[in-house]
Chains A and B, each alone.
Chain A
């Protein structure tokens, strides 16, 4: 299949970027990233600068493959990362526009690569349990309500990719932060530090310059792990509670 790619090229965060148009011959069995590899192979053989993009696992679990495809982070397929998106989702002759994640707190490093270390700093501000909780215990030795276990597991699926902040018209990181807060806070090991964690992670999120949530819901639509905005409500609730009870 023949595709017209409009790819965003930008030297660094200070320079002004623009689109570059390429035609690529791809097979419909390729993943989106493999199609990008085909483009880069050609650019390299032509002694041109290949398009910088991030990738690692290529199996939908690391969250590296940040790309906005036709206006949608991780492309048009629901609940799918860019690396798991296949070219059969497109038609021969399609024009595909590829842009980097856009949010002030994610400065562009080069082309499609953005600096998502703001998320790392949110995690460092409280996304952990301070003590060693030891080896995995025997099943059922720590009683956890089934419903809570399921909710915590749903939240734990967040791969920290940043698509939520990229999709949000406010550049807000609430879906990510609330997924992490929920994942830890719903389980007994993480519950102990929950109050402090909510406050410090929200404070760090604001410090990084992410916008405020106005419940548009674009994050939930674009999240490759289909994290629910239910987590945002939980974090709002717990943040209010934390403001009341903390010294």
Chain B
């Protein structure tokens, strides 16, 4: 759980940095060249396969764990304790399942289209023909329902990581008087800033395109 989770955390940073190129003022040239590179480089493709595998592994293990833990509890208390544990930590499997649903939608919008879609918008830079991923992204994000769906997905992700980031370190036994508070702080910052960074994209596109 913790190792796959940490891998996904690293992946998200790279994914965000790449996607921030959507903001550059060049009608998507930088972003398109980047996506073209990402989808043709064999090393990147291998990492991408690993990424799909880790997401599935993480999701399957998470669900199995949640089922096993629910059984280990058996019955619930009539009065729910109002102790100081976070809501996110008590709802990781629910949040994870929502993220999974979000990922299916996200893959359907882009990955599936790029792989198997027809009538994709194309673009030509200096004689090189490539998919106009930028056009695809802007068409999706300028529709209010998808824009809102992405924002909700990112909010769910933020909650999952609010607990998940520091939890992964504790699960691995990495706990230290001095460093653990720093890791916890980093985790909170990450869980707010990274989803926020992603959220800027649909918002920006939505309000500049329509």
Contacts and interface: CB of A to CB of B under 8 A. Distances in A.
Contact of A218 (B79, B85, B166): B85
B167 A214 contact: yes
A70 B79 contact: yes
A105 interface: yes
A208 to B, nearest CB: 9
Contacts of A211: 68-69, 71-73
A99 B74 contact: no
Contacts of A238: 173
Contact of A102 (B68, B75, B89, B171): B75
Interface stretch (A56-64, A123-131, A163-171): A163-171
Interface string B193-204: 000000000000
A230 interface: yes
A215 B167 contact: yes
B170 interface: yes
Given A97-B79, A104-B71, A172-B69, A232 B85 contact: no
Nearest to A211: B72
Contact of A71 (B77, B92, B167, B175): B77
Interface residues of B, number: 31
B175 A169 contact: no
A229 interface: yes
A171 B85 contact: no
B187 to A, nearest CB: 12
A238 B170 CA distance: 12
Contacts, number: 106
Interface string A210-247: 11111111100110000001101111111110000000
Interface string A60-90: 0000000010111000000000000000000
A214 B77 contact: no
B72 A71 contact: no
A118 B33 CA distance: 61
A229 B174 CA distance: 12
Interface in A161-212: 167-172, 209-212
A29 to B, nearest CB: 25
Interface string B163-178: 1001100111111000
Given A214-B65, A240-B173, A221 B77 contact: no
Chain A CB count within 10 A is highest, among B74, B77, B86, B90, for B77
B127 interface: no
B85 A209 contact: no
Interface of A: 6, 19, 68, 70-72, 97, 99, 102-105, 167-172, 209-218, 221-222, 229-230, 232-240
Closest 4 CB pairs of A and B: A237-B173, A211-B72, A233-B175, A71-B79
